[in-house]
Chain A
Amino acid sequence: MFRKTFNNLPRLSQLYAVPARLQNTQAAQAPTPAEPEDIDVIEQRILKHPDYFQVNNLFTVRDLFNARVHYGHKEGSLDDRMRPYIYGSRLGHLIFDLDKTASHLRDALNFAAHIAFRDGIILFFNRNAINAHLVEKKAMEAGEFSHTRFWRGGIFTNANVQFDAVTRLPDLCIFLNTQNNVMAQHTAVRDSAKMAIPTIGIVDSNCNPNLITYPVPGNDDSPAAVELYCNLFKEAIWRGKRKRRELLGLPPLDETQFKSSRSRSSKGKSG
C-alpha cells in the first residue's frame, strides 16, 4: 500500500473506485497562474487557525436536542467507557450530556473539513438497515464514499490482494454507528486503527469509544439524528473542498450535480 501526499510525483497509488479523483488531484498539482502560494504553505497556515472552516456555526445544542441526539440506550447496556459522556438516567434510560457531545462533534467536523481540504478520501460507514440508504445518498452528495453492507474481512488489511492492484485506502473513516449488531463492534474500526487511518465515530451508550480517534457521544439509531450527522459532515466536507478550490484559483464545483447524479459513473465524470 502506498499513501502518497499529492506533491509526490510520480504517483504510484491508485484509487480503487473513482479514477476521476486521481485526475483531479493531478490537475490541482499543476501550477496555475492564479495560484498565489504553495498549497503546502497554505495547509500549514490554516492549521494555526483554531476554526478555519467555521464549523462552530454549523449547529447548536438545540439542533442536537431536536434531532433526538441525547437519547441513549437503557441503563443495563451501558459500556463503562461511555460513563463520562452521560448526563444521567431518566427512569432507566440514559441521557447524553449534549454540551460534551457538541464540543466533540465540533472537533470531529473540523477534522473532517481539514481532511477534505487536503483532498483526502472519506469513507462513511453505517450498519443500521434503516439508515443505510440515507447514508449512501448523503455520502454521494458530499462527493465521497460509503460502505453500509457486510464488511468482508481484509478490505483494508489485505487490499492489494483483494482488489488485485495497489490500492489507496481512505484517509478518514466516519462511522455513523460503530456496532455491527448489538453485540459486536464493526471490524473496520479495528482495521482502520491497524492501517493508521483516523476515525470519527458516533458512539452510543453501548459502544466502545477507545479505538475511535474522534468519538462523538450520541444517539446512533434514530433516523433524525443520523440525518443531522450526515448533513453536518456533508457541509463540513464541502467547506473544505470549496476552500481548496478557491485558494488554488480553480472554478468551484457544481454541487447540484452530486445531488442529482444517480450512479457512480456519472458522478465520476462530473467531479
Chain B
Amino acid sequence: MAQSRLEKIGTIFTRVQGLLRGGAMKAEDKPIWYDVYAAFPPKLEPRFDRPASNEPVRNIFYAEDVVRAKLHKQNKSHETISLFDHKRRTQSQEFVQIYDQLKSQGALDEQRIYETALDLLAEQRQKSQPEAVEEQLQLEDPNRSTLLSDFQEADHQKRQQQQEQQQKSQQSKSSKVKQQGVNISSLFKD
C-alpha cells in the first residue's frame, strides 16, 4: 500500500489526503478515521514543527494569602490532615474564615484583627476538643476487653502480687526481727 512515513512533514491527514488526491491510494483503501478527522478536525494541526508559544505563566495568588503566610510564619502547625477527608476544614481554613468575618465587620486594624482571630481560633479549638474526648469516653465500653486493657490488668495484677509478696517478706522480716529481739531479750534475761 502506498504510504508516506515522513512524520515530520505535514500531518497524518495531509499526507493521506495527498495520496488520495494523487491516486496512489484508492478511495476504498481510505483509512476509517479519515472522514471522522475531516468532520471533527483537532483544534490545532498536529504538525511536528508547530512552534511553541512563549506566553508567560502567571502566578496564582489569592487575597487571603498575605494573612495565611503570616499565620504560618508566626505559628507552628501541629495539625494532622487526612487528604481523603474533604469535609473537615483545616485550622488554616478556619482561621481565614474568622479573619474575613472580623474584617468585614470593620472597626479593628489589621494587627488587632489577626490577634483576635488567633484567640477566637484557640477558643474554638478548645471548645471542640473536650467534646471529642467525652464522645470517645462514652463510646468506650468498660466491660469490653482490648489488648491494652488486658495488658494493663495483667500489669496491675502483677504489681499487686509483688506488693503482697513484699508485704509478706516485710512481715516475715519484722517477725524475724521480733523473734530475734525476743531471743536477744531472752538472752539478756539469761
CB <8 Å contact, B59 and A210: no
CB <8 Å contact, B58 and A89: yes
Residue A62 at the B interface, CB < 8 A?
Answer: no
Given contacts A5-B32, A196-B12, whether A110 and B57 have CB atoms under 8 Å apart is no
Choice from B5, B29, B33, B52 contacting A172 with Cβ under 8 Å: B33
B60 — which chain A residues lie within 8 A by C-beta?
87-90, 95
Residue A7 at the B interface, CB < 8 A?
Answer: yes
CB <8 Å contact, B40 and A107: yes
CB <8 Å contact, B5 and A195: yes
Given contacts A87-B60, A107-B43, whether A193 and B35 have CB atoms under 8 Å apart is no
CB <8 Å contact, A44 and B30: no
Residue B28 at the A interface, CB < 8 A?
Answer: yes
Bound-complex Cα distance A210 to B58 (A): 23
Tally inter-chain residue pairs, CB-CB below 8 A: 117
Consensus secondary structure, chain B interface: loop
A87 — which chain B residues lie within 8 A by C-beta?
60
CB <8 Å contact, B30 and A80: no
The tally of residues in B whose CB lies under 8 Å from a CB in A reads: 36
Residue A8 at the B interface, CB < 8 A?
Answer: yes
Interface hits, B27-44 → A, CB 8 Å:
28-33, 35-37, 39-40, 42-43
Which of A111-119, A129-137, A147-155, A249-257 lies at the interface with chain B? A111-119
Given contacts A107-B42, A118-B32, A196-B31, whether A80 and B54 have CB atoms under 8 Å apart is yes
CB <8 Å contact, A211 and B46: yes
Q: Among B5, B11, B12, which residue has the most Cβ atoms of chain A within 10 A? A: B12
- In this complex, the interface size class of chain A, counting residues with CB under 8 Å from chain B, is 35 or more
Residue A212 at the B interface, CB < 8 A?
Answer: yes
Of all chain A residues, the one with the shortest Cβ separation from B46 is A213
CB A71 to nearest CB in B, in angstroms, measures 13
Interface hits, B17-35 → A, CB 8 Å:
28-33, 35
Bound-complex Cα distance A110 to B64 (A): 41
CB A14 to nearest CB in B, in angstroms, measures 14
CB <8 Å contact, B29 and A3: yes
Choice from A84, A118, A211 contacting B36 with Cβ under 8 Å: A118
CB <8 Å contact, A84 and B55: yes
CB <8 Å contact, A8 and B28: yes
CB <8 Å contact, A104 and B3: no
Bound-complex Cα distance A3 to B2 (A): 11
Residue B188 at the A interface, CB < 8 A?
Answer: no
Residue A228 at the B interface, CB < 8 A?
Answer: no
Task: Flag B114-142 by CB within 8 Å of A: 1 or 0 each.
Answer: 00000000000000000000000000000
Residue B16 at the A interface, CB < 8 A?
Answer: yes
Residue B189 at the A interface, CB < 8 A?
Answer: no
CB <8 Å contact, A43 and B29: no
CB <8 Å contact, B1 and A89: no
Bound-complex Cα distance A119 to B31 (A): 12
Q: Among A86, A95, A210, which residue has the most Cβ atoms of chain B within 10 A? A: A210
Residue A75 at the B interface, CB < 8 A?
Answer: yes
Pairs of residues from A and B, 3 with the lowest C-beta to C-beta distance, nearest first:
A80-B52, A193-B7, A88-B60
9 A-B pairs (CB sep. < 8 Å): A4-B28, A47-B36, A75-B57, A78-B57, A80-B52, A80-B53, A84-B53, A95-B60, A195-B3
Chain B interface residues (CB < 8 Å from chain A) = 1, 3-7, 11-12, 15-16, 28-33, 35-37, 39-40, 42-43, 46-50, 52-55, 57-60
